[in-house]
Amino acid sequence: MRERLRSVVGDRSRQVRWAIAMAIAAAGICYSSWVLEFVLPIPVNPVRTFLSELDARGRAYAGVFSAADAITGVLALVAGVAGLYAFSRRRLSCAGWVALAAFGASTIADAQWPLHTCKPDPCPPADDGLFPQLHQIHALTSTLAVTAIFVAMFAFSAAAFRYRRWPILRHAGWWILIGGSAVTIWMLIADNLPGNYALGIAQRIQVGSISLWLVALAVQIFVADRARITK
């Protein structure tokens, strides 16, 4: 009887972990919806424009990108909360799940408060002061989302190295994190310099690295669970 109960509990736990992995993978795919800008007739220059302009109010197909962000946020939020209960509660891992949930919540807010378009379009450069995030809610939610997901990436990577687990995050995931971090540093520096430094391309690489890392995390969860079954 006890063995049967353990088997049932184990099967349900496995199903929950797999559901979390699928949610994270779907979030990563939805977060890469910006690639549709190369398919849909959207008059933006990817070299000079930020991704927030794709779902800005008044933009064509803004609803498509807002919906993709909202779905990403919901999936990441649910996965983050569920991960706290479905996986071992170690300090670094818990920090990663909390940060993933925070990323989800911030991305939902991002979709609810899109960027305001400017006339003329694109927006002329302006001196936003020390805290440009205070000028539009979308800038604040975007900053929180990016900060949260990088905290999650660093926390899970640190956990993978410290606890000697999740080899995909220790290898492919680690290089994705390094690439995304390098581009983020590029953006932070170039944004404060005169002239254009292809910040649009930099942000697309940054967001692309986040999507790849989320998929890598999902694959790692699935592979680790499969390995647990075969033991």
**Residue 218: predicted pLDDT:** 96
pLDDT at 9 over 70: no
* Domain ranges (residues) in the chain: 2-124+133-230
Low-confidence winner among 43-47, 101-105, 131-135, 159-163 (lowest mean pLDDT): 131-135
Q: Which of 166, 154, 145 is nearest to 216 (CA)?
A: 166
State the angle between helix axes of 2-30 and 199-230 in degrees (0 to 180), rounded to the nearest 10: 160
